[in-house]
Amino acid sequence: MRPGVQAGAETENADRKLREAEHDRGLQQVSATVVSAVRPSLSLLRIKARLETDELAAEWSLPNVAFRILLGSDQASRIYTVRRYDPETALFDFDIVQHPHDSPMMEWGASLKIGDSFTIVGPRQHLIIPQANGRRVALFLDASGIPALFALMQQWPEGLAGEGWILTDDSAAFAELPAIPGLVLHRIGNRAGRSGTALLERAEALHDPAAHILWGAGERSEMRAIRQYFLSAGLEKRDVAVSGYWKRGVSNSEIDLRRRESYERLIAQGGTLADFDDLAVEI
């Protein structure tokens, strides 16, 4: 080996470990045991599992907490939202949205049995409802964002009113969302969403968008457009909380790879996890 090659490789490995340590700070790698697996609706597989550790992080109880499931030896993994968590029993629920084509997650979910163990990494709180300061909230999401909204509604800000639009054909999943005084939710069928702009059209039709705060979750391109619309309407960045969970025509494995590459570039340039803007990642 030529002089300096090994040293360079060691430096690169050390830098990668530092980046990974920054990314994983505060996270736990925990074993979980399947307690039940049910189908509350045609589009959902709901898993109830128990965290198998005596040192549970308090952050598991926060609203809209996410975790990563490690699927197997090929290092595939997927991020999911804690739908409901009980700190007394360490039991938590999460929903796997079903789709007709094969994927590592569909295969993993189909193979689960009561008593099976799997490994997760978490918790990490994702975007919550911004501070309203007397304004109304506007919600825009598709089926992939329903578990996060359900979790947020378990700890809804007192007195916060507003309106939301949810793109899903699953009326049962929509009906499970709790009723909150002053919050009106509308279900949009997927036929209306085939153009990929159904939620954006509702956002653009909202009266006086600058008088609202925004929370959204769904397909990346549409969520990015909705965020940009509200920022252009005069909202500050702190008033806008929007997540892109998936992208049409792109696998989640590819999305994860692009996220990792973008994050590593940010850290190499002196940034931190707090500076990372997921919707700014080009995918």
121 shares a domain with 81:
yes
144 shares a domain with 104:
no
pLDDT, one tens digit for every residue, the chain (283 residues):
434 434 444 434 434 443 444 445 679 999 999 999 999 998 899 999 999 999 989 999 999 999 999 987 666 899 999 999 999 999 999 999 888 888 889 999 999 999 999 999 999 999 999 999 999 999 999 999 999 999 999 999 999 999 999 999 999 999 999 999 999 999 999 776 667 899 999 999 999 999 999 999 999 999 999 999 999 999 999 999 999 999 988 887 888 889 889 889 988 889 987 888 888 888 8
**Domain end among 81, 97, 125:** 125
- Residue 273, domain member (yes or no): no
- Residue 196, domain member (yes or no): yes
152 shares a domain with 98:
no
- Residue 8, domain member (yes or no): no
For the record, the structure tokens of 211 come out as 């008088």
148 shares a domain with 111:
no
CATH number for the domain spanning 51: value is 2.40.30.10
Please, what is the angle between helix 252-268 and helix 5-23, to 10°?
110
- Residue 58, domain member (yes or no): yes
Q: How many domains does the chain have?
A: 2
CATH number for the domain spanning 206: value is 3.40.50.80
- Residue 9, domain member (yes or no): no
232 shares a domain with 172:
yes
**Domain end among 125, 145, 175:** 125
54 shares a domain with 153:
no
pLDDT at 74: 63
Distance spanning both ends of the chain, measured CA to CA: 37
For the record, the structure tokens of 277 come out as 């803007």
- Residue 61, domain member (yes or no): yes
Burial 78-107 (b: 16+ CB within 10 A, else e): bbbbbbebeeeebbbbbbbbbeeeeebbbe
- Residue 11, domain member (yes or no): no
118 shares a domain with 153:
no
101 shares a domain with 141:
no
- Residue 264, domain member (yes or no): no
pTM here is 0.86
Domain containing residue 210 = 136-246
pLDDT at 272: 86
What is the residue whose two structure tokens read 């094969």? 102
Q: How far is the C-alpha of 169 from the C-alpha of 159, rounded, in Å?
A: 29
Please, what is the angle between helix 198-205 and helix 220-232, to 10°?
10
CB 282 within 8 A of CB 258: yes
pLDDT at 275: 84
117 shares a domain with 201:
no
